[in-house]
Amino acid sequence: MTLIKSISGIRGTIGGEVEENLTPVDAVKFAAAYGTWVKQQRNKENYKVVVGRDARISGEMIQNLVMNTLVGMGIHVVDLGLSTTPTVEVAVPMEHADGGIILTASHNPKQWNALKLLNANGEFLNGAEGKKILDIASSNDMIFAEVDALGKITKNEAYIDLHIDEVLDLPLVNKKAIEEANFKVVVDGVNSTGGIAIPLLLDRLGVHAVKLYCDPTGHFPHNPEPLKEHLGDLAKAVVEERADFGIVVDPDVDRLAFMDETGEMFGEEYTLVACADYVLSKKPGNTVSNMSSTRALRDITEKHGGSYEASAVGEVNVVALMKKNNVVIGGEGNGGIIYPELHYGRDALVGVALFLSLLAEKKMKVSELRATYPNYYMSKKKIQLTPKLDVDGILKTMERNYSHEKITTIDGVKIDFSDSWVHLRKSNTEPIIRIYTEAPSQDKADSLADRFIGEIKAIANI
């Protein structure tokens, strides 16, 4: 059982001991620390925070604890109930709120939950802001409101529809072409809030949605990370339904992956590549993704006359570089689309709308579309951490061992070879070392990952 306190929020497993897991005590403490931070940003009479959650079994419990803690601090709460991460991000500025909290552990299994924290722009906190909240939580320097100054909770369950309105109002979403294409799509909502939001969006676009695991019970029918090995039922349904393609999202709907008409994965790395291809064809410009993302985005960007740059892993790092470079689209290779014209956050809904627009205009099958992009293959593996592992020492040794290659150390160690790369880094969200590789074939990518796992184990004597 685990509790991870980081600059990106607090994430842990439900139950167990205080300070060791995500218990009610921990949820209250960190919600109070966040509320204190919110009140430090501006001196005003009334404060407002938007709160939403995915469909996790523990979600309602954690949300009630968080909301009532904020109420106890004199902060008014807008309760979105079952929602998505991008929906909460959109709601914060629309509500003129001082911040937002999403209760979700993204792709982690059902025993996990987390508090994801947003600023007044509806964007994730930066490192300094996250550290400040951790410091407040450690110091217990929190003051609660007196009885006449308590906050109030207001329910507003309209924001998924309002979010969809905002997506459909985007000039590059070709509603007419999508409706005329008469698409049939299977949606795997992993029994969370994607099962609400994605079918609603498709219906508004005139797409026939076949629902698979779209009942938001929080009982995930498979591992909720949208990877090929977890999606056998979706592959079967796409073929049996003779659908044009399949859509799968993670529990909080900020990651998006597609499956072609034959039941083969389009490749989560290529979600961003395809959406960027469409956007850049209409509005040339620059792109950004993180260091663990495919080189294919660089290739597509340069084809359209733009420039590409990689950031450290983490949405807040991607967003910071996107703003600096004034990019037209960016995101993460795990299926996270960030389209600044709507908001600076990973958003599966806008990704679906852009992908459908591309497909409708191209008038080709999903498998044919995939064949138009450069072929790179990735391997994503991990090593479980133990207290004895000196991760920093391991990474320093790797850096020395490969000093003759192109090395980047802004986030772990990335080694660029002529036709491949490997990225080694400690995860922000799980107690693991991630080993990501990319190469011209799957065998080469897997072999490269296995080779580095072996080298790490040799260095660490495990």
Phi, psi of 144, deg, nearest 5: -100, 160
Clarify whether residues 313 and 433 are in a common domain.
no
Q: What is the pLDDT of residue 1?
A: 54
Q: Could you say which of 339, 370, 401 is where a domain stops? A: 370
Q: Compute the average pLDDT of residues 2-17.
A: 86
Map residue 90 onto helix, strand or coil: helix
Residue-averaged pLDDT of the chain: 95
DSSP string, 271-334: HHHHHHHHHHHHS---EEEETTS-THHHHHHHHTT--EEEE-SSHHHHHHHHHHHT-SEEEETT
CA-CA distance, 209 to 200, in Å (whole number)? 9
| CATH number, domain with residue 389 | 3.30.310.50
Count how many domains the chain has: 3
Q: pLDDT of 224-233, one tens digit each? A: 998 889 999 9
Clarify whether residues 134 and 240 are in a common domain.
no
DSSP state of 244: S
Q: What is the pLDDT of residue 63?
A: 98
Clarify whether residues 182 and 145 are in a common domain.
no
CA-CA distance, 236 to 188, in Å (whole number)? 12
Clarify whether residues 213 and 347 are in a common domain.
yes
* Active site residues per annotation: 106
Q: pLDDT of 19-41, one tens digit each? A: 999 999 999 999 999 999 999 99
Q: Compute the average pLDDT of residues 187-213.
A: 98
Q: What is the pLDDT of residue 7?
A: 67
Name the residue with higher pLDDT: 430 or 362. 362
Clarify whether residues 115 and 210 are in a common domain.
no
Name the residue with higher pLDDT: 322 or 334. 322
Q: Which domain holds residue 124?
A: 3-157
Clarify whether residues 179 and 314 are in a common domain.
yes
Q: Could you say which of 370, 402, 429 is where a domain stops? A: 370
When pLDDT is cut at 50, 70 and 90, the band that residue 431 belongs to is confident
Q: pLDDT of 442-458, one tens digit each? A: 999 999 999 999 999 99
460 has pLDDT over 90: no
Least confident of 229-233, 361-365, 386-390: 386-390
Clarify whether residues 148 and 60 are in a common domain.
yes
Clarify whether residues 151 and 171 are in a common domain.
no
Clarify whether residues 183 and 200 are in a common domain.
yes
Clarify whether residues 208 and 127 are in a common domain.
no
Q: By C-alpha distance, which of 246, 143, 138, 145 is closest to 190? A: 246
Map residue 368 onto helix, strand or coil: helix
8 has pLDDT over 80: no
167 has pLDDT over 90: yes
Q: Is-contact 77 23, C-beta < 8 A?
A: no
| CATH number, domain with residue 313 | 3.40.120.10
Clarify whether residues 312 and 344 are in a common domain.
yes
101 has pLDDT over 90: yes
Q: Could you say which of 140, 157, 174 is where a domain stops? A: 157
90 has pLDDT over 60: yes
Tokens of 296: 């294919």
50 has pLDDT over 80: yes
Clarify whether residues 181 and 117 are in a common domain.
no
Tokens of 140: 């217990």
Judging by beta carbons within 10 Å of its beta carbon (0-12, 13-18, 19+), is residue 393 exposed, middle or buried?
exposed
Q: pLDDT of 262-299, one tens digit each? A: 999 999 999 999 999 999 999 999 999 999 999 999 99
